[in-house]
Amino acid sequence: MAESLVDIISMLLLLGGGLFAVIGGIGLLRFPDVYTRLHAGSITDTLAPLLIVSGLVLQSGFSLLTFKLLLILLFLLFTTPTASHATARAAMIAGIKPVGGEKTGDKGASSSNT
């Protein structure tokens, strides 16, 4: 009984991961400019691996495979921010203006008093 409960949780995690990956993919197509698409891409890069790897880890239990899976997850979580930041910075330097523009007015003023 306990075994099948683990199976069910793992199935839900896998399906959830797949669902979030597709949502991120839709966002990738739907959003208007580079920076917003970067945010959509970061859904597929953080939550989807998190859910899918947890689901797979529950399947395999404690083994060498689990170690490697966790290593992949750790590596993805460490590198994707760097890659996103590098892309955003490069686009910024290339002079691509974000949609919505720079809100230095009210937002900037409120941030300076905090």
Partner 1 sequence: MRYFISLSLTLAILWLGLSGVYKPLLFILGGLSIALVVWLTERMEVLGAEHDPGLWSWRLPVYWAWLLWQVVLANLMVARAVLSRKPVTPSLFRVPARQHTLVGRVTYGNSITLTPGTVTTCLRNGDDEIEVHALLPEAADDLHSGAMARKVDWLEGRQR
Partner 2 sequence: MTFVLLVTILAIFTTMGLALWRAIQGPSFYDTIVGVNAFGTKTVLLIALITYFTGHADLIDVALVYALINFLAVVAVLKLVRQRDLAAGGEKGDG
Q: Which of 87, 68, 77 is nearest to 48 (CA)?
A: 77
Among 3, 5, 9, 29, binds partner 2 (CB under 8 A): 29
Binding letters toward partner 2, positions 68-107, x by CB under 8 A: xx-xx--xx--xx-xxx-xx--xx-xx-x-----------
Tokens of 47: 């939550």
Per DSSP, 62 falls in state S
Nearest residue (CB) to partner 2, 90 versus 107: 90
86 binds, among partner 2, partner 1, none (CB under 5 to 8 A by kind): partner 2
Residue 59 contacts partner 2 per CB under 8 A: yes
- Given candidates 26, 72, 75, 96, which one binds partner 1 under the rule CB under 8 A? 26
Q: To the nearest whole angstrom, how small is the minimum distance from the Cβ of residue 103 to partner 2?
A: 21
Residue 66: Cβ within 10 Å count: 16
Instruction: Compute φ and ψ for 102, nearest 5 degrees.
Output: -85, 120
Does residue 71 interact with partner 1 by CB under 8 A? yes
9 binds partner 2 (CB under 8 A): no
Contact between 71 and 52 (Cβ < 8 Å): no
Residue 28: CB partners within 8 Å, gap ≥ 6? Answer: 37, 40, 41, 44
Single out the residue of 6, 15, 72, 108 in contact with partner 1 (rule: CB under 8 A). 108
